[in-house]
Structure 1
Amino acid sequence: MNSESEVNEGVSGKMKKYLQVGIWWFSLFIFVGYLLLWIVRPTNIFYLRWFPDIEAKADSVYLGEQGTTILIYTFPILLIATLAGLYLHLEQKPWNHNTERKGRFLGLASWKRPLLTKGPLGIITMTELSFAIMFVLLLIWTFCSYLHSMFASAAQDAAKERDQVWEVKLEYSAIALGLVGNICLALLFFPVSRGSSILRLLGLTSEGSIKYHIWLGHTAMLLFTAHGLGYIIFWYKTHQILEIFKWNKVGVSNVAGEISLLAGLIMWAATLPSIRRKAFELFFYTHYLYIVFVIFYVLHLGFSSSCVVLPGFYLFMIDRYLRFLQSQQKIRLVSARVLPCEAVELNFSKNLGLSYAPTSTIFINVPSISKLQWHPFTVTSCSDTDPDTLSVVIKSSGTWSKSLYQKLSSSSPLSHLDVSIEGPYGTGSAFYSRHELLVLISGGSGITPFISIIRSLVFKANTEGGKTPRVLLLCAFRKCIDLSMIDLILPVSATTTTFDISRLQLHIEAYVTREKQPDMNDKRLTQTSWFKANLLDEPVSQVLGKNSWLYLSIIISSSFILFLLLIGILTRYYIYPIDHNTDLIYPNFSRSSLSMLFICISIAIVATSAFLWNKKQNKDLGQIKNIYTSDQSTSPGSGYYNADKELGSLPLQSLVQTANVHYGETPDIKKILSGCDGSSIGVLVSGPRKMRHEVASICTSCSTDDLHFESVSFSW
């Protein structure tokens, strides 16, 4: 019986594998075609031959002209996103299969090595540089192609309009700059979609891709600003300055474009380092102007032309709405460990079915501190070693984190704290397990991403019997009291766990940079606070449950179909009888506004239905809530879900005692890495920007190919 079951599972596994391969190649085929479309788009072949032919075949009384642009620009990317969700659904916890395709990983490692480590763009790999160069070449090609086509008729057009040739060329140059800016805008929202199936399919995460959003944002605003200034100069020189105040009934609306550009300029100004670092809240709140920017961008060009950049924003809207639904739930905060170094570890109850990869992140909101601010933190727990809890560590550094620390460390402790969560989000593979030796380099609170990695390796060493890499943890702290961060490697439930950390070959080298000897007078201890249960609180769970990728594919496809149905009914029975697809009678403002409204309605209906259906089907949720409200011992060690409020020192063995502590010095990273032996050495760094760049530079300068650099950071 068992053998028959194993055979069936093997056949099922092969079918899934073949289906995954088919989905991957089909998605790649669609993407290559979509990329070729952008390359051919600025040529006369496309505008004078291909597009009119496609428009003649796609034109209908249901979708009109926008049906063509939706078919060409929107449909392919949404199809890829849907297929990517199906591909990911077929995967089963891929981070556990970390030893597969090791040869392939090592073969591609050279493309992931840091190539540039200094400069305004941060750490750049060969892969990133290659794609950046190709993207810049695409922008240059597009701009030059548009100018070549437009300038060919500049003299003739100047004679018709009684303008000088250079003035007409200035107008055409402004148009070309705006069209090139659309390429950046089409990609701008992909990196900030945290639950994106496309990013996950490519092995990327939103926090790791945020630098691409920054690059695209700067480039787009530079091009759109030049586009706007070009038109202002043209209107001034041709005595048409009043064009600035025109809002045309059909066609392009100048006022809408100016409002969109103004909103973009305000956001752009707030991204300056002097503002972003010193007044983060100003930067954070001004970024909500993206709503104004997008709405008036659509009103400026019309919905049909805006379909060029619609896919990225459409997927972002789905992601943003799902985050909104998840954020409305109050999460059960079980306990908080308050460390002497002004850091706190928050331990949340977790749905037993929730599984996530190490170094995943969550976004936390505490309404009693700020109802609008959401802050990202690395998950320090491991879904294998901590099956019913999810933990994060927050170091008191900014205004928000200091307020949280004061609440949790006050002499009159809280009995309950309302917290909302978005996430967790993370990568789909445990790349670190493919190495023979892991060198984890951290500075200050940068140690937190490595805690989940170490816990994951401890689980593997204790249960799977597989070979785990040797681990060298290099952590630098400013003061002796910060050494207590090392103890966070042990979970709150470490007294009852069956996992033996000694089975992992872990060596810790700690450096205290600003103190030359330990402070023997500091007797502060780590304290643990236990919170009472609230019937309205829920455990952390995925917003769409275990089958989240499948549900996401259904949401993308179903909402898009519903949108097409709504816009088709509107066009066929209301707009078409008025303008008969001429786009010369029905107001552009009304058409664009209704289209945007239908998109929002379609996403809201489908996503809400999927969310509520998953919540209804989530059987574990009800079981866990019953556990929380049942009578249990109030002792933290015997089951702390309904524990009374307690404060006390944590009775755990200190890992600091096993660490080799160096006082009054900084680690000689280059010397340490040169002394490491192994055919494959993974070097992971998390900490200040200067440290990350230094380690990247060392890995780049080494002649050996054994060092494989990886940066774990929210910033670039």
Structure 2
Amino acid sequence: MESKAPNSCEGTNTIRAALKLTCMVVFMGYLMIWIMSPCDYYWNNWWPNILKIESTYFGVQGVFIFVYSFPILFIAALGCVYLHLGKKSYDNKFERNGQRDRFASWRRPMLVKGPLGIVSSIELALFVMFMALLVWLFSVDLHSKLNRVTPQVLAMRKETIWENRFYNASLMLGVVANTVIIFLFLFVTRGSSVLPVVFGLSSEGSIKYHIWLGHIVMVLSTAHGLGHIFCWVLTNKVYEMLNWEFQEAQTSNVAGELSLLAGLGLWATTFPRIRRKMFELFFYTHYLYILFMIFFVFHVNIRYAYVIHTGFYLFVVDRCLRFLQSRRSVRLISARILPCKTLELNFSKSTGLGYNPTSIMFINVPAISKLQWHPFTVTSNSNLEPLTMSVVVKSEGSWTKKLDQMLSSRPFLDRLEVSVEGPYGPASTHFLRHDTLVMVSGGSGITPFISIIRELIFASKTFECKTPKVILICSFKTSSDLAMLDLLLPISSTPSSTLSNLQLEIKAYVTREKGPTTDNANHPITILFKPLATDAPISAVLGPKSWLWLGAIISSSFIIFLIIIGSINRYYIYPIDQHNPNGKFSYPASAIQPALNILAAFVCIATTATVAVLWNNKQHAREANQVEDMEGTTKAEVSGADRELESLPQESIVQATKVHYGERPDLRKMILEYKGSSVGVLACGPKKLRHDVANICSSGLADNLYFESISFSW
């Protein structure tokens, strides 16, 4: 059996390489269609041949579905198989120990300060290419459109050349904005199979791209809308603003205006100052995306909606699964209250749930707010702690302060109702590729490093592979914050979770105190809960084979959707259009069709997702009984948490820690002193700290530094 394992792994990796290559080829072909789409050659040579697939069941919209929707959905389904095989491969993340990342140098910071934040070379190159694509689409399409304007057309529209050019330029701005919307929702899909396969991103790592694209969409959409209004005012056609019926450009003006208003309301609260000071307002106004997309479909007509609907379709699949997962209350076992206004929440989890370091989980506490969901870093390790999952909550915002007060004021609280979404994290890790890991944190920024350290402990103990030397440089305001170092090891430390095989050096800095104090030397308070029988352990919403189930949901829902809209088009829309003397897509049919298609899409997604979740819940119920049988042991471990803090495993943390009072770390000197062919530098914490570390790594003073920023601030 042992001799077959490497061959089996090699075969799996070969299949995965073939799947990834197929996905990349399809994606490049998809991009090629977009590059060629504004050219006359495309419309005169390619498009007539593509139109041959038109049928009475789907009409012209079937052509748009095949050309623009099918490729991304195909990649999503194939990507699910790729990621499933990655989970099945024999501990793939540990087998790559010592391998160098060929693209690591491209990920070094090139820009640090600016509107885009910390940007690597490859990110900047892709951003420039994407903006070049938008400029190409705008200029070529506008040039082609203006060439078709004749004096007869100007006379018929009662416009001057200048007015016509301005109108068409405004129209093309809207077309380019629609192109950006394709990727806008793709980068905010948490359980996406496209992001890790095509872009190599995690759900949290893609948030900044979603922010970039959101600003671009709203700038272009606002310019598009204001440009049209300006043209209508100049040409005395203000009445056009009140037209819902589809005009000569196949658009509904009122629907577009309503979509833009919803987008502006959403956009106004996304700027950093407003978002940080009024997070609840930002959170609630973000739901305006529903109105934005519904009216957008009515605005552009159903055929063109299929050009950009793919990203939103995958987002809706993910949103539906998140909704189904969040309906159940999870089993909260205990809470550990540290003296530094920090909480560690310990949940029961199914043994089949695995996740990677730096994963996050969204938490909802109905007693505080039934609508608010907040992301927190998962600090536990699914290998070291097969029955529990832990998150750390720092009391900083209004929501976290309410949670801290709720638990601190009622230490004998029997139960706290909690719902979760996730966990979400990277598909793979690359920490073992480095000789040395330098992790720089500020305040609660230490939390993602806790999960990394626990993962390295597991790798060093279980696989006996060489692990990098780990240097943790952490800054705290007061000495009470040093209690967060107690979280580096699991609450129930065992021989398999000690530091004996891991070279760990901790350099802690207390910036606001000149020396150790005894005022904050309080011991952690542990609260044990008594969950209800209906509280379930945290488990993957689609079970251990979640990626295969997700691929099945995407494929089956889309096939059912095609059957439904094909039937609607053939037996309802098509007969109406046949009686229209002006040809297909008359106004009544075109007005009804978007509503029917939107409804059909939601019904198909909701139905298939619900069936898949209910089927997997049966398996979860069996496993929940097994977890409940072992929960007595887990509670015994948790109840001894305070004693464990004084045990030998925690003493190893104390021995590895050197505390400096009244000073800040000299990051430049400390980072540059580490030699070796590969030094991974990770930074998490305040914006200034991440920028300082990025500046050091990009200064060119050392070629062996590979920087990565971990940020969970939206």
Please tell me whether the aligned partners of residues 407 and 414 of structure 1 are also in contact (alpha carbons under 8 angstroms). no
User: Which amino acid is 1:559 matched to?
Assistant: S
- Name 2:138's counterpart in structure 1: 143
Q: Which of 10, 19, 29 in structure 1 is aligned with 2:25?
A: 29
Change (3 A) 1:530 1:101: closer
Q: Could you tell me how far 1:621 is from its partner in structure 2?
A: 2.1
Instruction: Measure the CA separation in 1 of the matches of 2:124 and 2:262.
Output: 30
Amino acid at match of 1:83: L
Q: Does 1:219 align with 2:216?
A: yes
**Partner residue of 1:206 out of 203, 207, 220:** 203
The alignment status of 1:238 with 2:197, answered yes or no, reads no
CA distance in 2, matches of 1:184, 1:647: 53
Residue identity matched to 1:450 = F
2:191 maps to what in 1?
195
Matched position secondary structure for 1:537? coil
**Shift in CA distance, 352/445, structure 1 to aligned 2, threshold 3 Å:** same
Rounded Cα–Cα distance in structure 2 between residues aligned with 1:229 and 1:173? 12
Counterparts of residues 605-684 of structure 1 (less than 5 Å): 605-618=607-620, 620-627=622-629, 632=632, 636-637=635-636, 651-652=646-647, 653=650, 655-656=653-654, 658-684=656-682
Superposed CA deviations along residues 290-338 of structure 1, whole A, max 9, x for unmatched, are 0000000001111111111111000000000000011111110011110
2:15 paired with 1:19: yes
CA deviations 1:39-63 (Å, max 9, x no partner) are 01111222344223322x1221111
Q: 1:122 aligns with which of 117, 125, 130?
A: 117
5 Å-filtered alignment, 1:236-635, equals 236-248=233-245, 251-494=250-493, 496-580=494-578, 582-618=584-620, 620-627=622-629, 632=632
Supply the distance in 1 between the matched residues of 2:97 and 2:439 (Cα, whole angstroms). 20
TM-score scaled to structure 1, two decimals? Answer: 0.95
The residue identity in structure 2 corresponding to 1:414 is L
Counterparts in 2 of 1:678 and 1:648: CA distance versus 1, 3 Å? closer
Q: Is the 8 A contact 2:384 2:496 kept in 1?
A: no
Distance apart, 1:94 and its partner CA: 6.6
Q: Report SS of the residue matched to 1:206.
A: coil
- Give the 3-state SS of the residue equivalent to 1:270 in structure 2: coil
**C-alpha distance in 2, partners of 1:95/1:283?**
43
User: Aligned equivalents of 1:104 and 1:512: distance in 2?
Assistant: 37
Residue by residue over 1:411-457, the C-alpha shift from the partner in whole angstroms, topping out at 9 and shown as x without a partner, is: 45311001111111111222111111111100000000000111111
CA deviation vs aligned residue, 1:57-104 (integer Å, no higher than 9, x gap): 122111112111101100010001000001111113679434555786
5+ long unaligned stretches in structure 1: none
Aligned pair in 2 of structure 1 residues 11, 584: CA closer, same or farther (>3 Å)? same
C-alpha separation in 2, matches of 1:63 and 1:586: 17
Question: Is the alpha carbon distance of 1:664 and 1:10 closer, same or farther for their aligned partners in structure 2, counting shifts above 3 Å?
Answer: closer
Q: What SS does structure 1 have at the residue aligned with 2:603?
A: helix
Label 1:674 to 1:625 Cα distance change in 2 as closer, same or farther (>3 A).
closer
Which of 228, 241, 255 pairs up with 2:225?
228
Contact 2:332 2:346 in 1 (8 A): yes
In the aligned structure 1, how far is the partner of 2:27 from the partner of 2:48? 22
Q: Which whole-Å CA distance do the structure 2 matches of 1:48 and 1:343 have between them?
A: 65
Partner secondary structure for residue 121 of structure 1: coil
User: What secondary structure sits across from 2:134 in the alignment?
Assistant: helix
Report the CA distance between 1:620 and its aligned residue: 5.0
Conserved? CA contact 2:492–2:637, under 8 Å: no
Please tell me whether the aligned partners of residues 335 and 526 of structure 2 are also in contact (alpha carbons under 8 angstroms). Answer: yes
Kept after mapping to 2: 8 A contact 1:526/1:650: no
Q: Match for residue 76 of structure 2? A: 81
SS at match of 1:685: strand
Contact kept, 8 Å, 1:335 with 1:531, in 2: the verdict is: yes
- Answer whether contact 1:95 1:430 (CA < 8 A) is retained: no
Residue 354 of structure 1: CA displacement? 0.8
2:475/2:511 contact within 8 Å kept: yes
Contact 1:579 1:585 in 2 (8 A): no
Could you say which residue in structure 2 is the equivalent of 1:90? Answer: 85
Query: Could you tell me whether the CA contact under 8 Å between 1:95 and 1:429 is conserved in 2?
Result: no
The SS at the match of 1:597 is helix
| Aligned amino acid, residue 603 of structure 2 | I
Does structure 2 conserve the Cα–Cα contact (< 8 Å) formed by 1:363 and 1:421? yes
RMSD over aligned CA atoms reads 2.1
User: What is the CA-CA distance between 1:371 and the residue it aligns to?
Assistant: 0.6
2-structure distance, mates of 1:624, 1:266? 49
Displacement after TM superposition at 1:479 (Å): 0.5
Amino acid at match of 2:125: S
Q: In 2 relative to 1, CA 692–532 (structure 1 residues): closer, same or farther, beyond 3 Å?
A: same
Q: CA deviation at 1:486?
A: 0.5
Residue 658 of structure 1: CA displacement?
4.2
Distance in 1 (alpha carbons) for counterparts of 2:448 and 2:91: 18
Tell me how far apart the structure 1 counterparts of residues 462 and 31 of structure 2 sit (CA, whole Å): 46
Letter in 1 for 2:588: Y
Distance change in 2, residues 1:585/1:508 (3 Å) = closer
- What displacement does 1:619 show? 6.4
- Where do 5+ consecutive residues of structure 2 fail to align? none
Report the TM-score when normalising by structure 2.
Answer: 0.95
- Given that 2:511 and 2:663 are in contact with CA atoms closer than 8 Å, whether structure 1 keeps it comes out as yes
Give the length in aligned residue pairs: 703
Q: Mark the CA change 1:13 to 1:659 in structure 2 (over 3 Å): closer, same or farther.
A: closer
Using the TM superposition, name which of 211-220 and 198-207 deviates more: 198-207
Measured against aligned partners, the alpha-carbon deviations of 1:635-685 in whole angstroms (never above 9, x if no partner) come to 943576xx9xx9999554453464111001000000001211222111011
Using the TM superposition, name which of 651-660 and 550-559 deviates more. Answer: 651-660
* Deviation at residue 155 of structure 1 after TM alignment: 4.2
Counterpart position of 2:47: 51
Residue 502 of structure 1 deviates from its aligned partner by 2.7
Could you say if the C-alpha distance between residues 576 and 155 of structure 1 is closer, same or farther in structure 2, counting changes exceeding 3 Å?
A: closer
Equivalence for 2:60: 65
Supply the distance in 2 between the matched residues of 1:658 and 1:400 (Cα, whole angstroms).
Answer: 34
Alignment partner for residue 182 of structure 1, among 166, 178, 184?
178
